[in-house]
């Protein structure tokens, strides 16, 4: 079995089925047809006698740069936010399917993996990264917020890591991703073919097969700042306190981090902060539902329209943020804004 539908290539060889993203002109940014095709494949394969399913890229140097946010913005400009809601609903359904799929799913992350790319990888049990992998949730820079279940998986990272990554959009190296738990195995890009072949031919648990091919990555740069990250972003219940702690720290890292946060959409920072604190005690389904409700409101907001313009359309990277429309304050605020009013 092999077919190419809407930017995704599907193949099945014996006990292995492959989902390969192939939208090179958009760095594999996923759109509604791609997500719908992936959902159909997962539904069809659920009861098949498969050993493993891989999610990977057919484009060199990129796994998935995220969702097609430019299309989402255009939907809002054209007065059709329902089209965006359909996209998010379908995408989040695929995220949830991957988290509970009865067949082991292995993501082979060989290149850039951001936003929606994490949604297609991090919910599965096996996330293999190569030396070319770069992981991030950079949504606050475009007036959006970390979604695809990030209020669930980021909020469960140790210490202050989740808030740090969600608010700043910091990029993770392969070693960083392993260190924080977003990746499970490191394999050199040159060995990926051998990994695919082993998954198809070798018996035994998937983890054991992968471990026979792992290498040691370069040391984690993020690990050097873990104590400071925890001191600034850990055990905090107020976003303003994060800014105060960074100013008080005064180190070069703190100054860089402060400058990063000050360049982000204030509305996005406030919403992200509240969603991550709220999500710590919620199920994945509850988090995805809250994110969908938030997305409905955010995609028509001035900050989202301006942020996507500045970063992805005109690319001048000089957004002019509006006064925040988000009125939430802490965990109760996010419930009032995105859940009770959805």
Average of per-residue pLDDT across 149-161: 97
User: Distances from the Cα of 154 to the Cαs of 99, 160, 261, 264, 277, in angstroms?
Assistant: 15, 10, 18, 19, 10
Of 132, 125, 139, 124, nearest to 57 by C-alpha is: 132
149 is catalytic: no
Residue 45, Ramachandran bin (φ over 0: left; ψ between -120 and 50: alpha; else beta) = alpha
pLDDT above 50 (res 76): yes
Question: What does the DSSP 8-state code read for residue 160?
Answer: T
- Pick the catalytic residue: 56, 68, 91, 139? 139
- Round to whole Å and give the CA distance between 97 and 100: 5
Q: Is 147 a catalytic residue?
A: yes
241 as an active site residue: the answer is no
In the sheet that 2-5 helps form, which strands lie side by side, from edge to edge? 2-5, 8-13, 16-21, 52-57, 105-109, 126-129, 185-186
- Please state, as a whole number, how many other Cβ atoms lie within 10 Å of the Cβ of residue 12: 17
d(CA 34, CA 231): 41
116 is catalytic: yes
Catalytically annotated residue among 7, 115, 116, 124:
116
Instruction: State the pLDDT confidence band at 340, using cuts at 50, 70 and 90.
Output: very low
pLDDT at 14: 83
DSSP helix/strand/coil, 255: helix
The DSSP annotation for 26-74 comes to GTT-B-HHHHHHHHHHHHHHTTS--SEEEEEESSTTEEE--B-HHHHHH
Task: Name all domains of the chain by residue range, CATH numbers in brackets.
Answer: 2-339 (3.90.226.10)
Interval 198-230: pLDDT, tens: 999 998 999 999 999 999 999 999 999 999 999
Q: What is the pLDDT of residue 342?
A: 39
Question: What would the two tokens of residue 327 be?
Answer: 């009125």
Give the model's pLDDT for residue 188: 98
Over range 243-258, report the average pLDDT: 97
| Alpha carbons 213 and 339: distance in angstroms, whole number | 45
What is the pLDDT confidence band of residue 54, given thresholds at 50, 70 and 90? very high
User: Which residue in the list 66, 67, 166, 307 is annotated as catalytic?
Assistant: 67
Least confident of 2-11, 26-35, 93-102, 250-259: 2-11
Given a cut of 90, whether residue 4 has pLDDT beyond it is no
Out of 68, 110, 147, 274, the active site residue is 147
CA–CA–CA angle 211, 212, 218 (5° rounding): 65
């Amino acid at each position: 079995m092999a077919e190419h539908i809407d930017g995704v290539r599907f193949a099945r060889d014996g006990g292995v089925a492959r989902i390969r993203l192939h939208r090179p002109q958009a760095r594999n940014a996923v759109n509604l047809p791609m997500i719908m095709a992936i959902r159909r494949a997962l539904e069809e394969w659920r009861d098949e006698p498969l050993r493993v399913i891989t999610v990977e890229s057919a484009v060199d140097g990129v796994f998935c740069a995220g969702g097609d946010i430019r299309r989402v913005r255009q939907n809002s400009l054209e007065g059709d936010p329902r089209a965006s809601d359909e996209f998010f609903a379908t995408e989040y359904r695929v995220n949830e399917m991957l988290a509970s799929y009865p067949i082991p799913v292995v993501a082979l992350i060989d290149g850039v993996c951001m936003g929606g790319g994490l949604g297609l990888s991090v919910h599965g049990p096996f996330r293999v990264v190569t030396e070319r992998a770069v992981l991030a949730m950079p949504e606050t820079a475009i007036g959006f917020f970390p979604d695809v279940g990030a209020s669930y998986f980021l909020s469960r990272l140790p210490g202050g890591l989740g808030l740090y990554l969600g608010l700043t959009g910091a990029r993770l190296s392969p070693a960083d991703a392993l260190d924080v738990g977003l990746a499970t195995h490191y394999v050199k890009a040159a060995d990926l073919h051998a990994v695919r072949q082993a998954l198809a031919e070798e018996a035994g648990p998937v983890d054991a097969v992968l471990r026979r091919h792992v290498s040691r990555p370069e040391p984690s740069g993020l690990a050097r700042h873990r104590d400071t990250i925890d001191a600034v972003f850990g055990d905090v219940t107020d976003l303003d306190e994060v800014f105060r702690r960074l100013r008080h720290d005064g180190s070069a890292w703190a100054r860089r981090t402060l400058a990063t946060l000050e360049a982000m959409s204030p509305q996005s920072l406030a919403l992200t902060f509240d969603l991550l604190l709220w999500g710590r005690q919620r199920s994945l389904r509850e988090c995805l539902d809250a994110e969908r409700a938030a997305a409905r409101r955010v995609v028509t907001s001035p900050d989202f329209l301006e942020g996507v313009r500045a970063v992805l359309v005109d690319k001048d990277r000089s957004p002019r943020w509006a006064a925040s429309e988000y009125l939430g304050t802490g965990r109760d605020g996010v419930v009032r804004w995105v859940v009770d009013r959805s």
